[in-house]
């Protein structure tokens, strides 16, 4: 009764049958083990990496770098040309590139030419992360009709207010 999963399980209402409680107990145990294994801090990779896929620019940056190394200005212009929702600000691009670089997903290098050029490229780790993004994207593309249908149904029948099921 002293272990965390049991304590968490106390959050369940009394209306649960034994099978449901067991299912939730297993699920909670897994969650708590995962939380204990890697940190719960805000900047832990298990939080920041999924966040990359959700933020406005990181996945697009990785997408463009998947085509080969690019300079800061090239990235900025390409994003402006592709995103069609207003380009990225110089500040944000620098910020996102730093974050990606810090996590080892993007590499920054200066060529030996004159004048020197600052180039960004995906690392092997970054390519793997990007592959996961592409997998999710493909699923989402396939699921989009179903999602749109769900939205239409929700917006039609279930307005605001306390709905009666």
Partner DNA sequence: CTGTATCCAAAATGATACTG
Partner DNA sequence: CAGTATCATTTTGGATACAG
Footprint of DNA on residues 59-78 (CB under 7 A)? 71-74, 76
Helix or strand holding residue 107 (H, E): strand 106-110
DSSP assignment of 114-138 equals SS--EEEEE-HHHHHHHHHHHHHHH
- Chain positions 72 to 91 lying near its own copies, rule: CB under 8 A, are 73-74, 77-78, 80-85
Whether the CB-CB separation of 106 and 128 falls below 8 Å is answered with no
Other beta carbons less than 10 A from residue 65's beta carbon: 25
Q: Which of 1, 2, 10, 13 binds DNA (CB under 7 A)?
A: 13
State phi, psi for 50 to the nearest 5 degrees.
-60, -35
33 binds, among DNA, its own copies, none (CB under 5 to 8 A by kind): none
- Chain positions 107 to 136 lying near its own copies, rule: CB under 8 A, are 108-110, 116-118, 125, 128-129, 132-133, 135-136
Q: How far apart are CA 157 and CA 162, in angstroms?
A: 12
Q: Which of 3, 89, 90, 102 binds its own copies (CB under 8 A)?
A: 102
Q: Which of 89, 111, 140, 144 binds DNA (CB under 7 A)?
A: 89
- Residue 104 per-residue DSSP state: T
| 7 belongs to the binding site for DNA (CB under 7 A) | no
Total residues contacting its own copies by CB under 8 A comes to 85
Interface contacts to DNA, rule CB under 7 A: 13, 55-57, 71-74, 76, 86, 88-92, 94-98, 108, 117-118, 160-163
């Amino acid at each position: 009764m002293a272990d965390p999963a049991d304590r968490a399980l106390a959050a369940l209402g009394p209306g649960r049958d034994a099978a449901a409680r067991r299912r939730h107990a297993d699920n909670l145990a897994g969650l708590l083990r995962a939380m204990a294994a890697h940190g719960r801090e805000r900047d832990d990779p298990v939080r920041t990496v999924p966040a990359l896929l959700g933020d406005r620019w990181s996945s697009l940056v990785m997408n463009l770098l998947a085509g080969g190394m690019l300079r800061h200005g090239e990235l900025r212009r390409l994003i402006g040309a592709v995103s069609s929702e207003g380009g990225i600000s110089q500040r944000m691009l620098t910020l996102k590139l730093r974050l990606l670089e810090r996590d080892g997903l993007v590499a920054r290098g200066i060529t030996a030419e004159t004048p020197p050029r600052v180039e960004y490229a995906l690392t092997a780790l970054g390519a793997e992360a990007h592959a996961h993004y592409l997998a999710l994207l493909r699923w989402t593309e396939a699921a989009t009709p179903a999602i749109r249908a769900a939205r239409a149904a929700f917006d039609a029948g279930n307005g605001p207010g306390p709905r009666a099921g």
